[in-house]
Amino acid sequence: MLVGHCQTTPHVPAGARLGGIEALARCQAEDKGYAMSVADLRMEYARAGLTEEHIDPDPIRQFGIWFTEAQEAGLPEPNAMTVASASREGVPSARIVLLKGFDERGFVFYTNYDSQKGRELTDNPRAALTFYWAALERQVRVSGTVNMVSREESQRYFDSRPLGSRLGASLSRQSEVIPDRSVLEAEFARLQAAHVDGDVPLPSFWGGYRVAPSSIEFWQGRLSRLHDRLRYARQPDNTWRIERLSP
C-alpha cells in the first residue's frame, strides 16, 4: 500500500516503477519530506509471546496450532515455505514451494525430481524449510532429512490436482533452459489434445518429498528485538527436547 502522492499511477510503465519495498520506502520518505533508505525500514513486534509453559510438548502439534492460526488469519498461501537444499559440494539454493501435508513423519511437498532441487536432494538428502507469517509476526524453521514419498502417495496427490496443473507438471522439464515460452504453450496444447478424457498419467519424474525433522524452531517477534525462540531438538529416543535460543 503506497501513501499520498506515491500511489501507483497507471500511466507509468511497469518497467519504470520501483519494486515493492523499495518503492514503498522511497515514496513514504518523499511524503514525509525526508530521505529514507531500506536500512531504515523496521517494525516492532508486539502481538504475542511464546512461553515454555504454553507451547505444546510435541512440535508437530505446535506446528498444527500455528498453521491453523495462519489459515484463520486469512493469510495468502499460509502453506508457502522456503525450501533450502545444497549441492554435494555444499553450494546452497532456496526457493518457495507449497506444503501439501504434515504429520509426525514430516513435511511433504511435491515437485519435479529432475529439477535443480530434485538433483540436489538426491545428492545431499537434507533440507531446511522456513515459513514466514508476517501478519502474525511468526517464523517456523524446520531442518531434517529428505525422502521421496511412496508412488501411491504421489499418485493420490497428482490425481487430486486440476487438469491444467497435471498437464503443466507433465510437460515441464523444470529448471532446464528453454528457447522461449512458445515451446511450453505448444506442448501444453499437444498434451491437452492427447488427454481429452482428463486421464493424465503420473510422470515418472514427478512426486513428493517428505522432510523428516530433526529440529523445529518457533519464532515469535517481541518488542525491542527480544524475540521468543523455542527450538525442539529430536533426541536419539525420538522424544523432543525444548530449548530457548537467544534472539
Ligand X SMILES: Cc1cc2nc3c(=O)[nH]c(=O)nc-3n(C[C@H](O)[C@H](O)[C@H](O)COP(=O)(O)O)c2cc1C
CA–CA gap between residue 165 and residue 14 (Å, rounded) = 28
Least separation in angstroms between residue 124's CB and ligand X is 13
Sites for ligand X among residues 147-206 (CB under 6 A): 174-175
Shortest reach from residue 72's CB to ligand X, in Å: 20
Residue of 80, 84, 191, 212 interacting with ligand X (CB under 6 A):
80
Q: What are phi and psi of 66, to 5 degrees?
A: -70, -35
The Cβ of residue 95 has, within 10 Å, a number of other Cβ atoms equal to: 14
In sign, the C-alpha dihedral spanning 64, 65, 71, 77 is negative
The one segment of 35-43, 96-104, 189-197, 235-243 that binds ligand X by CB under 6 A: 96-104
Q: Does 96 bind ligand X (CB under 6 A)?
A: yes
Q: Which of 27, 107, 108, 111 binds ligand X (CB under 6 A)?
A: 111
Which amino acid, residue 138? R
Active-site positions?
Answer: 225
Instruction: Name beta bridge partners: 138.
Output: 133, 220
- State which residue, 37 or 93, has the beta carbon closest to ligand X: 93
Judged by beta carbon, residue 161 or residue 195, the one nearer ligand X is: 161
Could you identify the residue written with the cell 511437498? 109
Shortest Cβ 65–ligand X spacing (Å): 23
Question: Residue 29 carries which side chain, given as an amino acid letter?
Answer: A
Q: Report d(CA 215, CA 132) in Å as an integer.
A: 17
Among 8, 51, 68, 93, indicate the residue that binds ligand X (CB under 6 A): 93
Return the residue matching grid coordinates 500511489: 7
Q: Pick the stretch among 32-40, 59-67, 89-97, 238-246 that binds ligand X (CB under 6 A).
A: 89-97
Q: Please identify, using beta-carbon distances, which residue of 28 and 174 lies nearer to ligand X.
A: 174
The label of the residue with cell 501507483 reads: 8
d(CA 80, CA 131): 7
d(CA 110, CA 101): 10
The per-type count for the chain, helices as H runs and strands as E runs, is 6, 8
Specify the DSSP class assigned to residue 91.
-
Mask of contacts with ligand X, 19-58, x by CB under 6 A? ----------------------------------------
User: What angle, rounded to 10 degrees, do the helices at 163-171 and 181-194 form?
Assistant: 120
Q: Which of 101, 105, 116, 233 binds ligand X (CB under 6 A)?
A: 116
Q: Which is nearer to ligand X, 50 or 167 (CB)?
A: 167
Contact stretch for ligand X (CB under 6 A) within 26-34, 90-98, 216-224, 238-246:
90-98
One of 40, 44, 52, 77 touching ligand X (CB under 6 A): 77
- Contacting positions for ligand X (CB under 6 A): 77, 80, 93, 95-98, 109-112, 115-117, 174-175
